[in-house]
């Protein structure tokens, strides 16, 4: 289906790695430091996928629907600082690579495809995590939160990758697990593969009309 493509762009959290246990660990540490109630990992899992700022805001109000809630800016900055420092010191303590990710990336690379990474995770964490799981060498370029002005679902990070690698949108595919990935791909006019096992925040990905939906990472190999 995608054999004529040149570039495959991957999301990170919920696509390559299950980072929720580590994120939940850090969020609950932050909440304890702020003398606020903690939340179960399954609840925090539904808040992940839009970057650190939004995750912290959702935790502070205890809901996915943080918009419109009054969050003092200084309080937010303090909370985010606590979260990022603790998370940075415990990046991989509870994070795991999803099944068949490493060998599938290797196979795609061996078939001649260029691989890139576009994540909303703060860029300062991305390289270390890729190295920890021994998959950094597969990616020609990786960008994260802070690499560009706008996070997904804005298409800027995808357009930046296309520009840097000099690849056209119609020769590229975005692989991700959330609405942010699919909407960013659509805005960039890139085909998309939606993965059902990640952090879709309760959204039925079919309603976003991705190019194709896969239930497991290794199914991607059948498309290229």
**CA distances to 105, 147, 212, 215, 223 from 205, in Å:** 23, 27, 10, 11, 19
C-beta separation of 44 from 62 below 8 A: no
Q: Which residue among the candidates 11, 18, 181, 191 is catalytic per the annotation?
A: 11
What phi, psi does 9 have (nearest 5°)?
-105, 125
Single out the residue of 183, 184, 180, 175 nearest to residue 217, CA to CA: 175
Q: Strand pairing partners for 96?
A: 18
What span, in angstroms and rounded, lies between the C-alpha atoms of 219 and 104? 9
Phi-psi region of 201 (alpha: psi -120 to 50; beta: other; left: phi over 0): left
Is there a catalytic annotation at residue 11?
yes
What span, in angstroms and rounded, lies between the C-alpha atoms of 158 and 53? 20
DSSP for 115-140 reads EEEEEEEEHHHHHHHHHHTT-GGG-S
- Active-site positions read 11
């Amino acid at each position: 289906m995608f054999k004529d493509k040149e570039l495959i762009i991957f999301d990170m959290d919920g696509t390559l790695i299950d980072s929720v246990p580590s994120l939940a660990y850090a969020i609950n540490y932050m909440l304890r430091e702020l003398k606020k109630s903690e939340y179960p990992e399954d609840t925090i899992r539904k808040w992940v996928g839009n970057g650190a700022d939004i995750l912290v805001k959702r935790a502070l109000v205890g809901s996915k629907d943080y918009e419109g809630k009054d969050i003092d800016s200084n309080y937010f900055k303090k909370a985010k600082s606590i979260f990022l420092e603790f998370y940075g010191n415990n990046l991989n303590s509870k994070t795991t690579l999803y099944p068949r990710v490493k060998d599938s990336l290797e196979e795609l690379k061996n078939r001649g495809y260029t691989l890139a990474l576009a994540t909303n995770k703060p860029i300062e964490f991305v390289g270390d995590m890729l190295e920890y799981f021994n998959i950094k060498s597969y990616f020609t370029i990786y960008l994260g939160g802070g690499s560009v002005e706008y996070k997904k679902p804005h298409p800027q990070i995808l357009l930046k990758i296309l520009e840097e690698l000099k690849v056209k949108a119609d020769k590229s595919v975005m692989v991700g697990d959330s609405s942010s990935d699919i909407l960013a791909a659509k805005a960039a006019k890139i085909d998309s593969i939606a993965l059902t096992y990640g952090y879709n925040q309760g959204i039925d990905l079919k309603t976003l009309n991705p190019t194709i939906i896969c239930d497991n990472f290794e199914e991607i190999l059948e498309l290229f």
